[in-house]
């Protein structure tokens, strides 16, 4: 089975290459991201392997169907970039990797919290310049602070477990309560209560029409002044313009993001010699209390190994006609 591999990075090859040409599966790596204009690269292939910023809208899927593609394997958990209704109508099967390493993303959320709080990134740069001053590096203890967790699936639950080592005051909001999270002593509350009471809010929910701009001007008015907001899930959970206004007003005390609504035009590439055209990201970078990483929460050895392993198994399951819980559409 021939698979066209889009948005390829060096680490993708490192972890997928051991599976190449195994059990009649072969990969062809393309650096290009998938759009309606690049879909023709998949001509002659049975399936495609894609990542978070590849576009699988109706038009792209139609092109893929016309050139014989029958399978889409996502090497990620989220599938908001796929028009599932169109895929179903075109009889294109879609598979994902639902839980490659919840700990990887949860631990990255903690890294953002600790870095923003204790300003270790600034201290590192100071010391390299011979500046050993402690001025403006003051942080706060996480002990006894209230942590708000929005979304308590595998990643959110892992984050709750980590934060229990810092504080017993953890609030959660989710449409579907997780019994394992409740058993940790985490208290489920309404969203407005979580926003009002939390010193730190971490987002771990999927992007759906219901959750898009979950954090906007209205919800930001309800947060505790000086609150820290962390997003390692999907960029469009936060209305960026509204967050910028809340930062300017001092209502939002800190912002740490590993995802960004318009990241497809920025992330996973070196733009150090370019003029950044995105005014929102440029404004965010200018804030001293904002920390941005370029969607690296998943980037651990263990996570990449699991992504490659599960993706390869998804291809085999499709090839052999086996049922799989990783199929997005049954």
Domains and their CATH numbers in the chain? 2-100+301-320 (3.40.50.720), 102-292 (3.40.50.720)
Instruction: State pLDDT tens for residues 164-180.
Output: 999 999 999 999 999 99
Nearest residue to 213 (alpha-carbon basis) of 191, 242, 184, 188: 242
Distance, in Å, from the CA atom of 315 to the CA atom of 298, rounded to the nearest integer, reads: 21
Q: Tell me what pLDDT residue 330 has.
A: 61
Q: What ranges in 67-130 are assigned the alpha helix state H? A: 84-89, 102-118, 120-128
How far is CA 120 from each of CA 112, 113, 162, 306, rounded to the nearest angstrom? 10, 11, 20, 30
- Would residue 68 be called left, alpha or beta, if left means φ above 0 and alpha means ψ between -120 and 50 degrees? left
- Tracing tokens 């009649």 back to the chain, one arrives at 24
DSSP string, 185-196: TPEE--HHHHHH
The string over 123-150, giving b where at least 16 C-beta atoms fall within 10 Å of a residue's C-beta and e elsewhere, is: beebeeeeeeeeeeeeeeebeebbbbbb
CA atoms within 13 A on the CB side of 9: 13
Which of 63, 96, 154, 234 is labelled catalytic? 234
pLDDT block averages, 10 residues each, the chain of length 330: 97 97 97 96 98 95 97 93 96 93 96 98 97 97 97 97 97 97 98 98 95 98 98 97 98 98 92 95 97 96 96 97 90
Residue 55 bears catalytic tag: no
**Choosing from 55, 154, 239, 295, which is the catalytic residue?**
295
What is the distance between the alpha carbons of residues 261 and 12, in angstroms, rounded to a whole number?
23
Close Cβ partners of 272 (under 8 Å, ≥ 6 residues apart)? none
The reply to whether 263 belongs to the active site is yes
- Choose among 97, 133, 6: nearest CA to 298: 97
CA distance 264 to 87: 22
Helix (H, G, I), strand (E, B) or coil at 160: helix
Mapping DSSP to helix (H, G, I), strand (E, B) and coil, where does residue 125 land?
A: helix
Q: Is 21 left (phi over 0), alpha (psi -120 to 50) or beta?
A: left
* DSSP annotation string for 168-185: S-EEEE-SS--HHHHHTT
pLDDT at site 265: 87
149 by DSSP, 3-state: which? Answer: strand
pLDDT digits (tens, 9 = 90+) for 64-82: 999 999 999 999 988 989 9
* pTM for this entry: 0.92
Give residues with Cβ within 8 angstroms of 137, minimum separation 6.
118, 119, 122, 123
DSSP SS3 for 309? helix
Distance CA 217, CA 177 (A): 26
Catalytic residue among 96, 204, 263, 306: 263
- Helices 240-249 and 279-286 cross at an angle (nearest 10°) of 30
Predicted pLDDT at 28: 98
Place of tokens 């003051």: 138
CA 94 to chain centre: 19
């Amino acid at each position: 089975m021939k698979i066209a591999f889009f948005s390829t990075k060096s680490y993708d090859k490192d972890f997928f290459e051991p599976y190449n040409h195994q059990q009649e599966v072969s990969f062809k790596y393309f650096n290009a991201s998938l759009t309606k204009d690049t879909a023709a690269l998949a001509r002659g292939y049975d399936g495609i392997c894609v990542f978070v910023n590849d576009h699988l809208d109706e038009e792209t899927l139609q092109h893929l169907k016309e050139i014989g593609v029958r399978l889409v394997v996502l090497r990620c958990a989220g599938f908001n970039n796929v028009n599932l209704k169109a895929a179903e109508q075109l009889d294109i099967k879609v598979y994902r990797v639902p839980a490659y390493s919840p700990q990887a993303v949860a631990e990255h959320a903690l890294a953002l919290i600790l870095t923003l709080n204790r300003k270790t990134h600034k201290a590192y740069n100071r010391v390299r310049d011979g500046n050993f001053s402690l001025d403006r590096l003051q942080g706060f203890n996480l002990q006894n602070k209230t942590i708000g967790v929005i979304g308590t699936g595998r990643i959110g639950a892992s984050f709750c477990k980590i934060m229990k080592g810092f504080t017993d005051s953890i609030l959660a909001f989710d449409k579907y309560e997780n019994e394992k999270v409740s058993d940790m002593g985490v208290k489920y509350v309404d969203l407005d209560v979580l926003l009002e009471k939390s010193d730190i809010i971490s987002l771990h929910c999927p992007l759906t029409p219901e959750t898009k701009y979950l954090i906007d001007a209205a919800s930001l008015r309800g947060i505790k002044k000086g609150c820290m907001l962390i997003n390692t899930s999907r960029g469009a959970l936060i209305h960026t313009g509204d967050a910028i206004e809340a930062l300017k007003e001092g209502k939002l005390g800190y912002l740490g993001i590993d995802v960004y609504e318009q990241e497809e035009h920025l992330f996973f590439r070196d733009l150090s010699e370019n003029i950044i055209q995105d005014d929102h990201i440029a404004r965010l970078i200018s804030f001293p209390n904002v920390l941005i990483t370029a969607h690296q929460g998943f980037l651990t050895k263990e996570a990449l190994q699991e992504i490659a392993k599960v993706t390869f198994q998804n291809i085999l399951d499709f090839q052999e006609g086996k049922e799989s819980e990783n199929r997005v559409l049954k």
